[in-house]
Amino acid sequence: MATDGPVLDVVTESLVELYERLGALDDGAVADYIPQLALADPDTFGLSLVSMDGHRYQAGDAEMPFTVQSVSKPFVYALVLSEFGLEEVTRWVGTEPSGEGYNAISLEPDTGRPDNAMINAGAIATTALVPGATCEERFERILDCLSRFAGRGLDVDEAVHRSEAETGDRNRALAYLMSSAGALPGAPSVVDTYFRQCAVRVTTGDLAVMAATLANGGVNPVTGETVVSETVACQVLAVMASCGMYDASGAWLLRVGLPAKSGVSGGLIAVSPARFGVAVHSPPLDASGTPVRGVAALRELSERFGLHMMRHPTRSAPTVTEADRGVRQGLVAAQGALDFTAAERLLHGLSDVTPQDGGWVVLDLLDVTTMDTSGATMVATALARLEEEGHRVAVVVEPRATAGAALTPWRRFPSREEAVDWCENGSAGVGGTGRT
Ligand code: GLU
């Protein structure tokens, strides 16, 4: 159960309710093309959600281990993206949905390049890109990466690995096809590393932490470790959104609206960026290879909590908290996180208070918590414009706040009084490099 007091635990209650109700669904069939997977209990059903504060919620069999299978693909993709960057990785693995099943021969006719990293062919090429002098070294990199995403040391289910290695001719064939076209960045024997990667053992709780790490811009919200950069997390989520659910990706995006990835052992993760990661495990799969109860649970969660990523986002508080206009002076105070939208509001506030000719403008950012690159660029451009037009500009900001760093060209003050004093009297004030 969640770490929070049970009385307020609406999230766990929702998961428990879904567990009890959707547990009755008995459509779908357990995958049996890997013989060992056919032994899975079809009644197993676990749900888990991890928030950006690292709070964990779960219901059902969320602690039961199973093999990660294709849910490993986005995380190994993240590993090679971190290592080589998008341009190089995209030379080997495309970024287009294949519109075909997980094990289809979705290779570009002229180059043999697989369509994307979420299907088997693309995942085998991705695994081949993982650096390492030997298979062991390469696999250690993969296991270490998956473990960092999960926030604990993971291991391999050797029986499932053997079972897939004994029967995985189709994947071997994919590797040989790519190799013959010069499209595999390694030897076809890399397919065994891919089988080991698929046989890494996780719980539903682990998968939720892994998904939450992607939701949190690459920082594991439980351990605090930066596993991959925000850019890589964003790239992985984009490919999950368009390709993560194989040939059912379009319908999934429409109805659930969250980047996701499923696997043949019944695991399913979905990511609500900046909100949480969620995972469901239930072995019976539908015709497109997706876990029946997982799809039902995610559809309901998305609807109930309004999570569709195309929904109109709500803003909790106004950006501009104060706007005063005098004959010779203007003042604007802002609060919260300054992203594009907040900065756009702030700029409106600034132009509303700016005096006609000359005079001064004070921008009070003491209550601004963060400023992203687009917000900082917009504010910096606006301040430069005000100066060009002959206004004296002062910024009020905590001396150590990161929000102020982008605004170093302007006179910065730790309090509004000092900023106003400098504007009116030209006195030195405290801090800031000053342009005037
Ligand atoms: N190990 C499985 C395979 O390559 C993974 C497929 C999946 O989970 O969708 O066939």
Q: Which of 281, 305, 329 is the last residue of a domain?
A: 305
User: How many A from CA of 32 to the centre of ligand 1?
Assistant: 11
User: How many A from CA of 171 to the centre of ligand 1?
Assistant: 9
**240 and 371, same domain (yes or no):** no
Q: 242 to each of 97, 177, 178, 277, 393, how far by Cα in Å?
A: 6, 25, 23, 18, 46
Q: Which of 245, 278, 305 is the last residue of a domain?
A: 305
User: How many A from CA of 183 to the centre of ligand 1?
Assistant: 20
Closest of 103, 191, 197 to residue 156, by C-alpha: 197
Domain for residue 435, yes or no?
Answer: no
Domain for residue 153, yes or no?
Answer: yes
pLDDT value of residue 403: 60
Angle of helix 135-150 relative to helix 191-198, nearest 10 degrees, comes to 30
Please state the domain count of the chain.
2
User: How many A from CA of 263 to the centre of ligand 1?
Assistant: 6
The strand pairing partners of 362, in sequence order, are 331, 394
| Tokens of residue 81, six digits | 């993206």
Q: Please tell me the distance from the alpha carbon of residue 299 to that of residue 420, in angstroms, as a whole number.
A: 54
Q: DSSP class of residue 415?
A: S
Domain for residue 156, yes or no?
Answer: yes
User: How many A from CA of 264 to the centre of ligand 1?
Assistant: 6
Q: Please tell me the distance from the alpha carbon of residue 30 to that of residue 410, in angstroms, as a whole number.
A: 64
**For atom 2 of ligand 1, which residue has the closest CA?**
69
Closest atom of ligand 1 to 246 CA is 9
Chain center to CA of 222 = 15
Closest atom of ligand 1 to 103 CA is 10
**333 and 272, same domain (yes or no):** no
User: How many A from CA of 195 to the centre of ligand 1?
Assistant: 8
Give the domain extent around 26: 10-305
**240 and 337, same domain (yes or no):** no
pTM: predicted TM-score of the whole model, two decimal places: 0.88
Closest atom of ligand 1 to 289 CA is 9
Which of 68, 70, 100, 172 maximizes ligand 1 atoms within 8 Å of its Cβ, making it the mutation to test the pocket? 70
Give the residues surrounding ligand 1 with Cβ less than 6 Å away: 69-70, 102-103, 120, 164, 171, 198, 263-264, 289
SS3 annotation, 24-69: CCCCCECCCCCHHHHHCCCCCCEEEEEECCCCEEEEECCCCCEECH
The answer to whether the CB of 119 falls within 8 A of the CB of 98 is yes
Which of 120, 193, 197, 240 maximizes ligand 1 atoms within 8 Å of its Cβ, making it the mutation to test the pocket? 120
Closest atom of ligand 1 to 123 CA is 4
Closest atom of ligand 1 to 71 CA is 8
Closest atom of ligand 1 to 170 CA is 10
**227 and 110, same domain (yes or no):** yes
DSSP string, 65-85: -EE-GGGGHHHHHHHHHHHHH
Domain for residue 2, yes or no?
Answer: no
**331 and 295, same domain (yes or no):** no
Q: Please tell me the distance from the alpha carbon of residue 133 to that of residue 152, in angstroms, as a whole number.
A: 25
User: How many A from CA of 106 to the centre of ligand 1?
Assistant: 15
**275 and 378, same domain (yes or no):** no
User: How many A from CA of 119 to the centre of ligand 1?
Assistant: 8
Which of 127, 167, 192, 198 maximizes ligand 1 atoms within 8 Å of its Cβ, making it the mutation to test the pocket? 198
CATH code, domain carrying 418: 3.30.750.24
User: How many A from CA of 212 to the centre of ligand 1?
Assistant: 22
Closest of 150, 147, 166 to residue 158, by C-alpha: 166
Domain for residue 311, yes or no?
Answer: no
User: How many A from CA of 262 to the centre of ligand 1?
Assistant: 9
Q: Please tell me the distance from the alpha carbon of residue 392 to that of residue 420, in angstroms, as a whole number.
A: 10
User: How many A from CA of 164 to the centre of ligand 1?
Assistant: 9
User: How many A from CA of 69 to the centre of ligand 1?
Assistant: 5
C-beta atoms surrounding 49 within 10 Å = 30
pLDDT value of residue 7: 60
CB-based burial, 378-415: b 16+ in 10 Å, e otherwise: bbbebbeebbeeebbbbbbbeeebebbebbebbbbbbe
**151 and 232, same domain (yes or no):** yes
Q: Which of 279, 305, 331 is the last residue of a domain?
A: 305
Domain for residue 5, yes or no?
Answer: no
DSSP string, 309-348: TTSPPP-SS-SEEEEEE-SSEEEEEEEEEE-HHHHHHHHH
Which of 67, 68, 102 maximizes ligand 1 atoms within 8 Å of its Cβ, making it the mutation to test the pocket? 102
Domain for residue 436, yes or no?
Answer: no
10-residue mean pLDDT series, the chain (436 residues): 59 95 96 94 97 96 98 98 98 90 82 93 97 96 98 98 96 95 95 98 98 98 98 98 89 95 97 96 94 96 90 81 94 94 94 92 94 90 92 88 68 91 71 42
**227 and 343, same domain (yes or no):** no
Closest atom of ligand 1 to 33 CA is 10
pLDDT value of residue 427: 58
Q: Please tell me the distance from the alpha carbon of residue 32 to that of residue 290, in angstroms, as a whole number.
A: 14
